[in-house]
Structure formats: structure tokens, C-alpha cells
């Protein structure tokens, strides 16, 4: 409760707007898991996966997106709440009008890149729910944001009934939802898991109707969508596309050599400090190559690796590389390889892997940069990690005699010029061949 505040709807945001506060509140560090070996295997795997899924390191990209959402919610409150007197006057009007300030916003990205985790982090960084006392003595809850889980909704009426707890349909439900949002000071709505609705036969039309229903409330809202859903929405008529696709933010994987990626791996290592023995700095690029920077795939890879060594309980880069080759990781491995070697044919067949609103040149350049970083690290990390111990020993002896020839990579000074396309393809194929072997 904000005592004595003249405008609690706006002032509740003041402590939460700067980057330091956002990063501190967004960070989620699960309690370390100890004595995993002593647990029954399946229980240990379950505990490990849940902790890895819950862990959240707020990268520079995350903080930037969260800060923007907070700023939009803050601006919404500034435009719609000027104080107690105005609030009571509008509250008792027959119809509540909300001043719109933004279009619908879309958060998109690869499946498993961390969209849901980012939305959950938003719940932590937005002001907590509190109560205020109006000038006429009424206790009113202030709810800064709300997350709507969309996979169980089938139509706009269900969606709005869930939002406002009301009855009826159509315009009546919209008015009820708008009144509740104003009364409770809801300044932002997150619609997550819309992609699950794509399983229905009338997916495109129903998704569009649900999104437009939320958009009609006048509250800033973000909907999370995978690339497949964006391709679907992009086929809708112009008026709908203008309402729903005007503001798209792509949540991209961290760079393989970035501080953010290393800090993310360090946080994951803290979850099982007695078990995880990989090096978040030295192994960062190699580990990125095994999951393409997708956090869900990285969590899955760690669990698969641990499953095979539960009896001894240590997971390092060798165990992760073996897990990469495992049957349980086959689907993820297919995605990783497709992302690392994106061609016109791959883009045609795998629309779930690329953003239709992002230029092909941008995607190609990003992957070229990531590939170059992986290849520069290739001889010292990825190839060696993929080899059995005996082969690594022979490789090391060969390297001392004929470095370039033994590594299979042309001798060159990478600091003087960028790798060519042919070299990238050649080195990537060597990397893949190494992963298939052993």
C-alpha cells in the first residue's frame, strides 16, 4: 500500500524503472542441488530439469526489453490516471474509456530461446500487486500486469471471461474487461503460448480474433509467438496485419563469445556445483555450438548428459558432446544443424526457424558472424571435444608435428582477415563429421 500518495497508479513504478533494479529483480538463481547421486535417478533428473528451466540470467538484451515494457506501462498510467478525484469520477461512469498509447506488441523468437522465461521475469520486475484506499474509503487492488496463458483458450469470449471473471459475450465482455483493467490499474498484459492454438483447424482466424480482442481493451499488451505463427499471421488481411504486426521484437540467442552467454552458463553451473564441471568461459563457444544458444536445448542437453553418468555424477564437455549425439537429442540436434547451416532450401522447409519480418540478409550475416566465431574456436575446442580420448592423444601428437594439416584447416592468421564462405562450410563439415564419429 502506498500511504499518502496523490497518484499511486503512476508512483508505484518509480522504484522499478532503472536498469540496475530491473536486473536485480529479473535474476532468478535456484537453490543449488546437492547429493544428486544419492537421489533415485528419475527424481534427480526431474529436480535438475526443473531447476535448469527456472534459472534466469538477465542478459543485456533481456534488460533492454524489460525496461521498454516497464516504460510503456508507466506511460500508460501517466495517460490514464491523474489522481484520486479523476479516478473516482471515471470509475462511476457508465462506460470506462481507456486512452490507447501503443499497438499490439509481438515477442517472437526460436522455440526454446527463452520467451516464456522472459515474460515470467517481467512479472518479477513489474511492481507487485498492492492495495490503495480511495478518497471515499474503498480498498482497491493495484495490479501492474497480468499474464494470460493462451493454450487452453479457444475463442475471444473465453479469453475475456477469464480476464474479467464476467459473463456475456462480444462487446459486453469487452466493456467488462475494460472496466476491470481500469479499476485494478492493470497497465500491461502478456499473452503467452499462443502457438499452441495453431494445432486447431481454424487456427489463423481464431488466433487473430483473440489477439484483436485483447487489442480492443486499450491496454498495452505483448503476445509471444514462434516463427511458425508469424508466418501464419502474415497471411491475414492488411488491416489485421497492421494492428498485430506493427511492433515486433525478436528475442535472439546470445552470441557464442558474449559475456551474457558465459554468465548464463555460469548460472546453470551453480545449480549443480558438485556435478557440472564444464568451464563457463573456456567451453562457452563449444557449448553454444551444441545448442545454437537456445536455452531450453542447453537445459535438455545437460539433463541427458547427467542421465548417462548418474552413477559417477560428473558432467563436463566430453559428456555434453556424447549427449549431443544421443537419440534423445535427435530433434534438437536437427534444429541446431539447420540453424548453423541455414540455406535457401532450409528456409523453405523450416519456416519455424526464421523470422518472416527479418531480412534474409540480416539472418545470413548474423549466422556468418556466429559461424566465424565457432570456426576460430574450432581446432582448439569443438573438434577435440568430439574425439574419443585415444584419438585426441593422436591428434595432439600430430598437431605438434604438422598443426595445419593435422587439424584439417588451412593455416591462416584469423586476426588479419575473415574466414571465407568456403572455409566456413569446410570447417563446419569437419565439425559435423567429428560429432558423428566416436
Same domain, 318 and 412: yes
**Whether residues 269 and 245 fall in one domain:** no
Could you tell me the three cell numbers for 206? 481464431
Q: Cα separation of 334 and 316, whole Å?
A: 22
Based on the fold, state whether residues 155 and 303 are members of the same structural domain.
no
Last residue of a domain, one of 185, 217, 250: 250
Same domain? 224 vs 280: no
89 plus 205 within the same structural domain: yes
| 129 C-beta neighbours (distance < 10 Å), count | 14
Q: Where are the beta strands (DSSP E) in 219-273?
A: 221-225, 247-250
Reply yes or no on whether the pLDDT at 206 is more than 90. Answer: no
Q: How far apart are CA 329 and CA 297, in angstroms?
A: 9
pLDDT of residue 333: 94
Percentage of residues in the chain with pLDDT exceeding 70?
78
Does any domain span residue 322? yes
CA proximity to 108, closest of 158, 56, 65: 65
> Mean pLDDT over residues 165-191, rounded?
91
Mean pLDDT of the chain: 82
Contact 310, 298 (CB under 8 A): no
Average pLDDT for 221-236: 87
Q: For the chain, how many residues are written?
A: 438
Is residue 402 in some structural domain? yes
* pLDDT band for position 118 (cuts 50, 70, 90): very high
CB 188 within 8 A of CB 67: no
315 plus 194 within the same structural domain: no
- Look at residues 201, 221, 250 and tell me which one is the last residue of a structural domain: 250
Q: Mean pLDDT throughout 250-272? A: 97
49 part of a folded domain = no
Q: How confident is the model at residue 97 (pLDDT cuts 50, 70, 90)?
A: confident
Domain with residue 166: its CATH number is 3.40.50.300
Percent of the chain's residues with pLDDT above 90? 49
Q: Are residues 195 and 289 in the same domain?
A: no
Task: Assess if residue 180 is contained within a domain.
Answer: yes
- Burial pattern 153-162, b for ≥16 Cβ within 10 A else e, equals beebbebbbe
pLDDT (average), residues 3-18: 88
Lowest mean per-residue pLDDT among 86-100, 173-187, 334-348, 375-389? 375-389
Tell me which of 367 and 187 has the higher pLDDT.
187
Asked whether residue 66 is assigned to any structural domain, the reply reads yes
Contacts of 274 by beta carbon, 8 Å cutoff, 6+ apart: 34, 35, 36, 313
Question: Is residue 3 domain-resident?
Answer: no
187 with 302, same domain?
no
Residue 2 maps to a domain:
no
With a CB cutoff of 8 Å and minimum separation 6, the contacts of 363 are 342, 354, 355
In 3D space, the residue among 315, 290, 383, 318 whose CA is nearest the CA of residue 394 turns out to be: 383
Does one domain contain both 231 and 276? no
Q: Which of the pair, 138 or 254, is modelled with greater confidence? A: 254
Do 198 and 294 share a domain, yes or no? no
- Lowest average pLDDT, out of 88-97, 170-179, 220-229, 339-348, goes to 339-348
Q: What domain range is 234 assigned to?
A: 8-44+55-250
Q: Are 87 and 134 in contact (CB under 8 A)?
A: yes
> Mean per-residue pLDDT for 335-361?
81
Nearest CA to 150 out of 208, 193, 214 is that of 193
pLDDT at site 405: 37
| Residue 402, Cβ density class (10 Å: 0-12 exposed, 13-18 middle, ≥19 buried) | exposed
Q: Is pLDDT of 250 > 60?
A: yes
Same domain, 163 and 136: yes
Does residue 129 share a domain with residue 18? yes
Nine cell digits for residue 201 = 483447424
Q: What's the domain count of the chain?
A: 2
Query: pLDDT tens digit string along 27-80?
Result: 999 999 988 988 999 999 999 999 999 999 999 999 999 999 999 999 999 999
Q: What is the pLDDT of residue 130?
A: 92
Closest among 77, 134, 69 to 105, alpha carbons compared: 69
Q: What is the mean pLDDT of residues 240-251?
A: 87
- Confidence grade of residue 204 (pLDDT, cut at 50, 70, 90): confident
Domain termination residue (choose one: 196, 231, 250): 250
Looking at the domain assignment, is residue 396 inside a domain? yes
Check pLDDT > 70 for residue 25.
yes
Cβ burial of 285 (10 Å; 0-12, 13-18, 19+) is: buried
pLDDT for residue 270: 97
To which residue does cell 512479472 refer? 123
pLDDT (0 to 100) of residue 50: 96
Range from 18-27, 168-177, 373-382 that averages highest in pLDDT? 18-27
Q: Which residues pair with 189 in a beta bridge?
A: 146, 221
Amino acid at each position: 500500500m502506498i500511504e499518502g500518495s496523490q497518484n499511486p497508479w503512476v508512483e508505484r513504478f518509480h522504484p522499478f524503472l532503472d536498469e540496475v533494479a530491473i536486473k536485480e529483480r529479473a535474476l532468478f538463481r535456484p537453490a543449488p542441488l546437492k547429493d544428486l547421486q544419492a537421489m533415485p535417478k528419475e527424481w534427480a533428473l526431474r529436480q535438475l530439469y526443473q531447476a535448469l528451466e527456472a534459472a534466469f540470467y538477465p542478459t543485456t538484451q533481456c534488460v533492454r526489453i524489460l525496461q521498454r515494457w516497464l516504460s510503456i506501462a508507466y506511460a500508460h498510467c501517466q495517460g490514464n490516471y491523474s489522481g484520486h478525484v479523476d479516478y473516482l469520477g471515471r470509475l462511476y461512469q457508465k462506460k470506462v474509456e481507456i486512452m490507447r498509447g501503443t499497438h499490439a506488441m509481438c515477442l517472437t523468437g526460436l522455440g526454446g530461446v527463452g520467451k516464456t522465461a522472459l515474460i515470467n521475469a517481467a512479472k518479477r520486475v513489474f511492481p507487485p500487486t498492492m492495495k490503495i484506499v480511495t478518497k471515499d474509503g474503498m480498498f482497491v487492488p493495484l495490479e501492474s500486469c497480468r499474464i494470460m496463458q493462451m493454450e487452453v483458450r479457444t475463442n475471444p469470449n473465453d479469453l475475456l471471461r477469464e480476464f474479467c471473471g464476467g459473463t456475456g459475450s462480444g462487446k459486453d465482455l469487452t466493456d467488462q474487461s475494460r472496466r476491470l483493467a481500469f479499476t485494478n490499474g492493470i497497465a500491461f498484459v502478456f499473452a503467452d503460448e499462443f502457438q499452441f492454438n495453431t494445432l486447431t483447424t481454424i487456427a489463423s482466424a481464431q488466433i487473430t480474433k483473440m489477439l484483436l480482442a485483447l487489442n480492443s481493451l486499450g491496454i498495452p499488451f505483448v503476445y509471444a509467438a514462434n516463427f511458425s505463427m508469424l508466418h501464419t499471421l502474415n497471411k491475414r488481411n492488411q488491416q489485421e496485419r497492421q494492428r498485430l504486426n506493427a511492433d515486433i521484437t525478436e528475442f535472439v540467442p546470445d552470441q557464442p563469445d558474449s559475456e551474457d552467454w558465459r554468465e548464463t552458463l555460469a548460472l546453470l553451473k551453480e545449480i549443480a556445483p558438485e556435478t557440472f564441471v564444464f568451464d563457463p568461459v573456456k567451453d562457452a563457444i563449444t557449448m553454444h555450438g551444441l545448442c545454437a544458444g537456445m536455452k531450453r536445448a542447453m537445459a535438455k542437453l545437460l539433463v541427458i548428459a547427467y542421465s548417462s553418468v548418474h552413477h559417477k555424477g560428473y558432467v563436463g564437455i566430453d559428456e555434453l558432446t556424447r549427449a549431443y549425439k544421443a537419440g534423445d537429442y535427435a530433434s534438437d540436434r536437427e534444429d541446431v544443424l539447420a540453424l548453423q547451416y541455414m540455406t535457401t532450401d532450409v528456409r523453405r522447409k523450416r519456416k519455424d526457424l526464421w523470422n518472416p519480418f527479418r531480412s534474409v540478409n540480416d539472418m545470413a550475416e548474423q549466422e556468418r558472424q556466429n559461424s566465424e566465431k565457432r570456426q576460430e574456436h574450432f581446432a582448439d575446442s569443438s573438434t577435440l571435444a568430439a574425439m574419443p580420448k585415444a584419438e585426441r592423444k593422436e591428434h595432439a601428437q600430430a598437431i605438434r608435428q604438422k598443426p595445419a594439416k593435422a587439424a584439417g584447416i588451412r593455416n591462416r592468421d584469423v586476426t588479419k582477415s575473415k574466414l571465407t564462405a568456403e572455409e566456413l562450410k569446410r570447417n563446419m563439415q569437419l565439425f559435423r563429421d567429428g560429432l558423428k564419429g566416436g
